[in-house]
Amino acid sequence: MTQAIIVHDKQFVPYISSEEIEKQVSRLAREIERDYAGKRPLFIAILNGAFMFASDLFKHLEIEAEICFIKLASYKGTKSTGKVITAIGLDEELYKRHVIILEDIVDTGKTLHEFLPQLDHNHPSSLKIAALLNKPDSQIYDVKVDYLGFTIPNKFVLGYGLDYDGLGRNLDSIYQLTEE
Ligand code: 5GP
């Protein structure tokens, strides 16, 4: 891997190489194949961050499977509901499907904690989460990641789909913010 990089005003150092990512993504694909053979799972990839993870994981899969891509938007609900998360682009019928959410990173867990119950309303046969990264030290909301690539400390990362203010998604490995 190359040296430290500057993105906008911040410096990042190499953290997880593309080879390590490839190895873990391939392992996740094998685990999912083992659990979902014959079930034709439906993957729901959450944009923007999960696009590269979703693409690589899907390429590695050798069972029948479907995939769709959604964007989550949060808007102000009523006073009692607070902010409400809504999915844009979710046209698939989830009833009686085996659904696997593909997420780039679980940080506080808020996003998935709020979004999963909405999917559950559609009564899928099963609902699981596959995430490339998890930061257990910053998790506040109870979210169980069923298929996990890497556990990482509570430090900002970018690359492999993850951005810092719009930039860095194209990097094929993951970088970590240097200490300030
Ligand atoms: P949560 O709702 O779990 O707190 O946050 C999840 C979302 O926050 C992720 O999907 C991602 O977009 C963003 N996020 C959390 N930690 C990081 C990080 O270290 N780097 C980047 N680029 N995004 C992050």
Domain holding 84: CATH number? 3.40.50.2020
Whether residue 13 lies inside any domain: the answer is: no
Whether residue 161 lies inside any domain: the answer is: no
What positions carry a catalytic annotation?
107
Whether residue 45 lies inside any domain: the answer is: yes
| Binding-site residues, ligand 1, Cβ < 6 A | 49, 103-111, 156-158, 162-164
Whether residue 34 lies inside any domain: the answer is: yes
**Cα 22 from chain centre:** 15
User: How far is Cα 46 from Cα 50, in angstroms, rounded to an integer?
Assistant: 6
Whether residue 180 lies inside any domain: the answer is: no
Q: Please, which pLDDT band fits residue 81 given cuts at 50, 70 and 90?
A: low
Residue from 74, 85, 103, 107 to probe ligand 1 pocket by mutation (most atoms less than 8 Å from CB)? 107
Whether residue 169 lies inside any domain: the answer is: no
What confidence tens digit (pLDDT) does each residue in 45-75 have?
999 999 999 999 999 999 999 999 999 988 7
pLDDT score of 161? 98
Work out how many domains the chain is built from and give that number. Answer: 1
For the ranges 24-38, 45-59, 79-93, the lowest mean pLDDT is seen at 79-93
Does the model's pTM come out above 0.75? yes
* 37 Cα to the center of ligand 1, angstroms: 31
Residue 97: which domain range? 18-154
Whether residue 58 lies inside any domain: the answer is: yes
Stretch (H or E) spanning 18: helix 18-36
Angle, helices 18-36/51-60, rounded to nearest 10 degrees: 60
Whether residue 177 lies inside any domain: the answer is: no
